[in-house]
Structure 1
Amino acid sequence: MNGELRETFTNFIYQAKRNAKGEIDGILFVIYDVTDQVLAKQRMEQALRARDEFLSIASHKLKTPLTSIQLQTQMAKRNIEKNRETAFEPARVVKLIDQTDHSLRRLTRLVDDMLDISRITTGKLTFHRETLDLLALVREVVGNLLTNAIRYGEGSPIKISVKNQADRAVLIVQDAGPGIAQENQDRIFERFERATPASSISGLGLGLSISREIVNRHSGTLFLKSSPGAGASFLVDLPLNATDMP
C-alpha cells in the first residue's frame, strides 16, 4: 500500500490437483488474509493482561492503607484495654488521627480514580459546563501529569510552562527522564497501561487515561512528545473561550 511495508497474517488450505487420468499434476492453494482477526485477538489478549495486572496492583494498593489503619487501631485498642495513660495523651491521639487520616485520604484517592474510570467507560460521567478559572479546570490534569513525571522521570528536573496561542492555552509538563518509545506512546493513555513494568512504579495506571478524558470533554487535546533518552513532554491544549467549545 503506497510502497509501505506492513505485517500480515495468512491462513491457507491446499489439495492435490488431478488431471483427466486422475494423476496428480499440481497443488491448489487457497490463501486467506486473517490479519484483522489476529490483530483483534492480540489486542484482546493485551487488554486482558492489562486488566489482570491492574487488579493485582489495585488489590495491593488498596490493602496497604487498610493494613495501616488496622495496625493503628489495634495498637490503640491494646493501649486502652491495658489502661495505659499514654494512650490518652493528646499528642499521641493527634498522631494516631493524623496517620489514620493520611491512610484514609490515600484510600479515597485510589477509589475515586477507579470510580472515575468506571464512569467514563460506562458513559455515566457527566460534565456541566460553566465559566471558571483555567487553574481550577486543569488542577487534576496537572496533578496527574506531575505525578507521572515524578514517577517516570527518574529524579530529573520537571519543567512546567503555559503559553497563549491564538485564543488557546497550551500547558506543557516536561521531564528529562529516559523518554518513551514510539510504540508505547499511544498505549500509555489506555486504562491500566504503563510505560514500565508495574513492579518498579507505584500507581494504578489510570492517571493519564482520566486526564485525557477530562481534556477531551473540554474540547482540548492531550498528547505526548518523546523519544528514548530525550525525556517526555505532555502538552495540554485547551480553548480559552467558551465559544470555541462545541
Structure 2
Amino acid sequence: MPSEEPGQELLLRELGRINSELATHRRLSAMTVHDLANPAQVIMGLSELLLDHPTLDPFVRSRVEQLHRSAVTMSALIADLSQGHALDDDTHHEVRRVDLVELVSSLVERQRVLAEAKDMRLLLLVEQPDQRGCWVDGDPVKLERVMGNLLGNAIKFSPPRSTVSIAVDRGFDNAKIAVRDQGPGISAEGRTRIFEVFHRESGTEQVPGLGLGLFITKQIVESHGGTIDVTSEPGQGSTFLVEIPLAADEPYADLA
C-alpha cells in the first residue's frame, strides 16, 4: 500500500490537533457550566428561604425578590448552556405569555444599583392607556436578556450623572421598547456594523466587553419576529428601538 503524500500527513496532523483543542475547549466549557450552576442554585435557594420569612422588612423583601429573579434568570441561562444551547440560539424557546411592562420594570429596578454606582438616573416611561399591560408570546429569559444587554450597555457607556430613559409603548400590532442614553454616540460607519459579532466602536476599547451583546440581542429579537434599530450621532447619545409583535389576542385591543 503506497504511503500517504506528505501534504496529506500534514493535513491529518493538523486536523488531529484541531480536534484535540476542540475537545479540550468542550471539557473546559462543561466544567465552567457545572461550576456556575451550584452558586446560582445556592443564591436562588437562600433567597427563597428569606422570602418565606414572615417578618421580613418590605424594603428588604423587594431587594430579595430582585435577587431571586436574577438568580432564576442566571440558572435558566446556565441550564441552556448545559444542554448545548448557545446564548445566541434562535431556535430553542420556552414560550410563555409575557407582560413586557412587568419584565422591563423589574429589570430596571434591579439595574438601579449599577446606575447609582455612577450617580446616574434611570427614567422609566410606560404608555399603556388602560393599564392592561403589554403582552407578547416569547421566552421570558431571552427577552430579559435583550433588555439586560441594552440597559447594561446604556449604563456602561454613559458618563456619570447622566440619564438613561426606557420607554415601553403598546402599539396596535407591536410592543415598542426604546432605550436612550447620553453616551458618546455611534459613528455612521459604526451604526452599519453595530449588530455584528465582536464589533466594538472605535474609542471604546477601555470599556470591558467582547462585542457580543448586541449581536445576541439582535438574534433574540428577530427570532421573536421582531426588529431592532439604532439612531445615534457622535456626541449626541444613542437610542435603541425594539419592536416585538403583540400576543395574538392583543392587537387592536384598545378598540375593542
Which one has the largest radius of gyration? Answer: 1
TM-score (norm 2): 0.46
TM-score (norm 1): 0.48
